[in-house]
């Protein structure tokens, strides 16, 4: 067991956001053992001073806190409870800090399951993308017992600009993240539609971007994603497939509650169209390509 101010961490998922988080923990003095199927991710983490393990159980063997930053609930299940899963090796009273976007019901069930094995859950989905993960300025929507927050205090401090403590019941954090993803997905889709309309009508899309950025129609996603569209640069900082998954989660939650979510459904169809066209691994701003393909035009504009 490490000093309580810098708990030893097993970090499972060195992906778009996880790698930046893990590197920030190293910078703040944590011992971090990382796991990821990507050789490039493992190499980057090792070059930053991290230790690489062969599987989650090996990583968790010396950990106080296991951080899970994978894609979905199926992957969470696999890395925690599958072959060489982390829970089998995590010390009693150890904490699982679960950061993936998953259904709230899954988080509640996971907390109960971990309780039976002598472990605790901090339900801590995050927002901010790769850039804010790298700068240590993520937003966490977290819920869990006070002891779990205490165990993760230095981890949250090293990786976040804002931590919302939403209560002591796991599942609240995941529910709030679901609401966030509804807005994020719809905002990206509407930003793409607006810029596509401007381009098809013959407007200078860079001028339109400047005007909207200073007007009531602006949003955080408009400001962040439209420059990717204008530069025709879809290097993945997030990915189209992420919103296929996350908006699907949003819609499933609506189904469970018998609540219609027509805007989320329309945005989901747009991301599905982009993924179906082969753009699933590109940055999520590539959803604008659906409009470009339909109208045979480009939204990109040369920099002045």
Predicted confidence (pLDDT) per residue in 124-168, tens digit = 999 998 889 999 999 999 999 999 999 999 999 999 999 999 999
Share the mean pLDDT of the chain. 96
Contact residues for 22 (Cβ-Cβ < 8 A; gap 6+): 9, 11, 14, 32, 34, 45, 48, 50, 67
Residue 2 has pLDDT above 70, yes or no: no
Neighbours of 19 (CB within 10 A): 26
Residue 222 Rama label (left phi>0; alpha psi -120 to 50; beta): alpha
Active site residues: 177
Cα 236 from Cα 73, distance rounded (Å) = 22
The pTM of this model reads 0.92
**Stretch 213-240: mean pLDDT, rounded?**
96
Dihedral of alpha carbons 32, 37, 41, 44, sign: positive
**Stretch 25-53: mean pLDDT, rounded?**
97
Cα 100 from Cα 220, distance rounded (Å) = 21
Residue 4 has pLDDT above 80, yes or no: no
């Amino acid at each position: 067991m490490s000093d309580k101010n810098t708990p030893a961490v097993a970090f499972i998922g060195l992906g778009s956001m996880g790698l930046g988080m893990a590197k920030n923990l190293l910078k703040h003095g944590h011992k971090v053992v990382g796991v990821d199927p990507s050789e490039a991710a493992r190499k980057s983490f090792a070059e930053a001073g991290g230790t690489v393990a062969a599987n989650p159980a090996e990583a968790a063997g010396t950990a106080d806190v296991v951080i899970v930053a994978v894609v979905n609930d199926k992957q969470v299940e696999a890395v925690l409870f599958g072959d060489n899963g982390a829970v089998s090796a995590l010390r009693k009273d150890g904490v699982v800090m679960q950061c993936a976007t998953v259904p709230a019901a899954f988080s509640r069930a996971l907390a109960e399951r971990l309780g039976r094995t002598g472990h605790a859950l901090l339900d801590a989905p995050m927002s901010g993308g790769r850039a804010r993960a790298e700068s240590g300025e993520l937003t966490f929507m977290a819920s869990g017992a006070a002891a779990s927050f205490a165990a993760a205090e230095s981890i949250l401090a090293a990786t976040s600009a804002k931590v919302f403590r939403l209560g002591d019941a796991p599942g609240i954090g995941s529910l709030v993240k679901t609401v966030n993803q509804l807005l994020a997905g719809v905002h990206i889709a509407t930003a793409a539609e607006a810029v596509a309309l401007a381009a098809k009508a013959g407007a200078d899309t860079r001028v339109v971007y400047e005007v909207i950025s200073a007007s009531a129609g602006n949003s955080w996603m408009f400001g962040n994603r439209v420059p990717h569209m204008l530069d025709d640069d879809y290097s993945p900082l997030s990915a189209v497939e992420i919103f296929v998954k996350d908006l699907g989660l949003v819609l499933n939650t609506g189904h469970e509650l018998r609540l219609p979510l027509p805007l989320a459904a329309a945005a989901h169809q747009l991301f599905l169209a982009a993924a179906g066209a082969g753009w699933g691994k590109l940055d999520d701003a590539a959803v604008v390509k659906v409009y470009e393909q339909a109208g045979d035009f480009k939204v990109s504009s040369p920099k002045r």
